[in-house]
Structure 1
Amino acid sequence: MEIRAYTEADRAELRALFGRAGEGAPTASLWGHVESEAAIYLDPYLDREPESVLLAVVDGALAGYLVGCLDSSGFPSESARMEQAIKRYRLMLRPATMAFFARALTDMAWARLRREPTAGELTDQRWPAHLHINVEPMARGTGAAAGLMHRWFDRLRENGSPGCHLQTLRENTRAVRFFERMGFHTYGQDPLVPGLRHQGGRLHQRTMVWTP
């Protein structure tokens, strides 16, 4: 197993990995349209901050990746990236993705009635960096995920970052336990993620923070 920096020559293989990594987990997909989801959670990092993209290679093949940003205030917000992807790919008009948005509207109305918060982004200069990490099932237990995180921590320290945050799902207990082992702590509430389902149940956002 090797952890190395991303190069532009890796883009095609990384895009393929994006489509299969996380398979079976609650975070595996938003609305089942890989190209638009990559436009939110992969491509902007490759284009804007490729030096913060790390790869895990197992037996000569890409098996995991970490994309990050040292300062979220200078990076397009997740909501802006999502809005752009929805418009670009006309997701509201695709039969396969319309169900997600119908559920999202229902969930937001349900949350308002119950006066409960819904998922959002963290803006706090104590933890300005953020990351997304994904490892495909065959690489679990190889140390790939931990290797990616430790290399990312090295980058944060080298750049004098005061801290980092990430957002996962409360129901993804495997991921939550892993991030806790890496030194992350839960921050704030666990609000509802509108539209998202796993095994028929609603899902909730878990924000976690790490300080050097």
Structure 2
Amino acid sequence: MDVRPFQETDRAALRELFGRAGADSPTESLWGHLDSEAAVYLDPYMDLEPESLFVAEDDGQLIGYLAGCVNTRAFPSESERMEQAFRRYRSIFLSRSALFFARATFDTMAAKIRRTPAAEDFTDQRWPAHLHINIAPAGRGTGAADAMMDLWFTRLRAIDSPGCHLQTLVENTRAVKFFERMGFRAHGPEPLVPGVRYQGQKVRQRTMVREF
């Protein structure tokens, strides 16, 4: 297995991996349209900060990736990326995504009525960096995730970053345990994530932070 920085020649293979990584997890598919999901959670990292992108390869096939950003405030926010993706792909009009958007609208309105928080972007200069990590089923248990995190931590230490954050789901217990083992801890409230369901149930966002 080879764990290394992203190269431009990885682009097509990484895009293909995006479609199968995270299988069987609560975040396997969000609104059911792969191109617009990639436009939020993968493409901007390849385009804007490829030096913070790492991949794991086994026998010539990519099995995992870590997409990082050293300064969240200098990167387009998740909300901005989602808005651009929805506008570009007209995702709201796609039949396979309609249920997600209907649920998201209902969840957001219900949260406002109940005055309960909903998931939102996170920025805090104590933890300016952030990351997304995804492993295909074939890469789980191989040490690929640990090795990519080590490369990411090395990059953050090299630039004297004070800390890093990430956002996952409370219900993604496998991911939460992994991040805790990597030195992250829960931070702040755990609001509802509008529109997303796992095994038919609503899910909550967990923000996790790590100092250096």
Normalising by structure 2, we get a TM-score of: 0.98
Tell me the residue number matched to 2:117.
Answer: 117
Runs (4+) of structure 1 exceeding 3 A deviation are: none
2:161 and 2:132 mapped to 1: Cα distance?
17
Q: Quote the RMSD (CA, aligned, Å).
A: 0.7
| Superimposed CA distance per residue, residues 103-155 of structure 1 (whole angstroms, 9 cap, x where no aligned partner) | 00111122223221000111110000000000001111000011111110000
SS at match of 1:68: strand
Identical-residue share of aligned pairs (%): 61
Deviation at residue 61 of structure 1 after TM alignment: 1.3
> Aligned runs of 1:1-80 on 2, under 5 Å?
1-80=1-80
Deviation at residue 74 of structure 1 after TM alignment: 0.7
1:146 and 1:59 mapped to 2: Cα distance?
18
Flag structure 2 segments of 5+ consecutive residues without an equivalent: none
2:108 and 2:121 mapped to 1: Cα distance?
16
Tell me the residue number matched to 1:94.
Answer: 94
2:52 and 2:85 mapped to 1: Cα distance?
22
Flag structure 1 segments of 5+ consecutive residues without an equivalent: none
SS at match of 1:55: strand
Deviation at residue 60 of structure 1 after TM alignment: 2.5
Tell me the residue number matched to 2:139.
Answer: 139
The AA in structure 2 aligned to 1:41 is Y
> Aligned runs of 1:162-201 on 2, under 5 Å?
162-201=162-201
Deviation at residue 84 of structure 1 after TM alignment: 0.5
| Superimposed CA distance per residue, residues 165-191 of structure 1 (whole angstroms, 9 cap, x where no aligned partner) | 000000000000000000000010110
Normalising by structure 1, we get a TM-score of: 0.98
1:7 and 1:138 mapped to 2: Cα distance?
21
2:32 and 2:92 mapped to 1: Cα distance?
13
2:27 and 2:96 mapped to 1: Cα distance?
18
Tell me the residue number matched to 2:206.
Answer: 206
Deviation at residue 98 of structure 1 after TM alignment: 1.1
Query: Aligned pair count?
Result: 212
SS at match of 1:209: strand
